[in-house]
């Protein structure tokens, strides 16, 4: 469960550090490069010049990796491939005979979970995510709930999904392939190189708004849209008191 807290805790720590610094709170000045600092604790060899290389010139957060689908990164490219097939061809879940899914070795080693026991494990299961996407919207976190695990159609489809390692594929790199074999004899295949949301194929404003809207669906829409638009131009904001909603 702790993985869900990572981004929130990192942001919380950043805000706390900024607030403390604003009020004059100080700490060790050599926390990174000092005798007992981060570098010497975690590295046998290091180059301190790398710490400030490109500082003020390169902003890596401008190409952040965004998960468009509400599950583990191991299924992101595969789900995009599946949705591309669904957009290009007409068929129903009952038409599907079997599904072959290719990807990097971690997908096959760690995420081949044909019968997940709870919603969190279901989000780590590539077979389950693929099966669910034929019946529900995989971008919506609410799709991965207890009812999905009790849905006989989703669980039956999950057993028809077979994974295999794809040569040359790595984490968030080329090698996401989905092949559907239909009962009428058709074979539908889609290969995704860099899936949407990676730095190589970044999510656009509409993609981000779609995710934001899904996550804030239970909040007033007009207010959420105002917040979203202001966050997109955050560098122009003078303070963040307006976020206290």
In a domain, 121, yes or no: yes
Residue 181 near residue 86, CB atoms below 8 Å: no
- When divided into structural domains, the chain yields a total of 3
Residue 39, number of CB atoms within 10 A of its CB:
17
185 shares its domain with 217: no
In a domain, 197, yes or no: no
181 shares its domain with 216: no
162 shares its domain with 85: yes
In a domain, 49, yes or no: yes
| pLDDT tens-digit series, residues 90-115 | 999 999 999 999 998 889 899 999 99
Give the residue carrying structure tokens 């509400």.
70
Return phi, psi of residue 104, to 5°. Answer: -70, 165
pLDDT on residue 173: 56
Return phi, psi of residue 188, to 5°. Answer: -110, 120
139 shares its domain with 210: no
| pLDDT tens-digit series, residues 27-39 | 888 888 888 899 9
Containing structural domain, residue 49: 2-58
Query: Within the chain, which residues score under 50 in pLDDT?
Result: none
Alpha carbon dihedral 69, 72, 75, 80, in 10-degree steps, equals 20
What is the pTM assigned to this prediction? 0.81
């Amino acid at each position: 469960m702790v993985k869900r807290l990572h981004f929130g805790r990192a942001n919380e720590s950043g805000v706390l550090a900024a607030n403390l610094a604003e009020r004059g709170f100080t700490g060790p000045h050599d926390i990174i490069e000092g005798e007992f600092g981060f570098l010497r604790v975690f590295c046998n060899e290091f180059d301190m010049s790398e710490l400030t290389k490109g500082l003020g010139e390169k902003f890596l957060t401008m190409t952040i990796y965004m998960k468009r689908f509400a599950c583990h990164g191991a299924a992101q490219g595969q789900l995009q491939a599946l949705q591309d097939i669904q957009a290009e061809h007409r068929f129903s879940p009952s038409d599907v005979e079997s599904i072959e899914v290719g990807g990097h070795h971690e997908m096959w080693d760690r995420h081949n979970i044909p019968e997940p026991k709870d919603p969190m494990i279901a989000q780590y299961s590539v077979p389950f995510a693929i099966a669910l996407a034929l019946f529900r919207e995989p971008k919506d976190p609410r799709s991965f709930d207890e009812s999905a695990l009790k849905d006989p159609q989703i669980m039956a489809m999950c057993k028809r999904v077979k994974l295999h390692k794809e040569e040359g594929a790595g984490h968030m790199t080329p090698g996401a392939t989905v092949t559907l074999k239909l009962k009428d004899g058709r074979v539908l295949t889609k290969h995704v190189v860099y899936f949407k949301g990676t730095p190589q194929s970044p999510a656009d404003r509409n993609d981000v708004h779609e995710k934001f809207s899904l996550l804030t669906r239970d909040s007033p829409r007009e207010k959420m849209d105002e917040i979203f638009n202001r966050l997109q131009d955050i560098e122009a904001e003078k303070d963040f008191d307006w976020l206290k909603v």
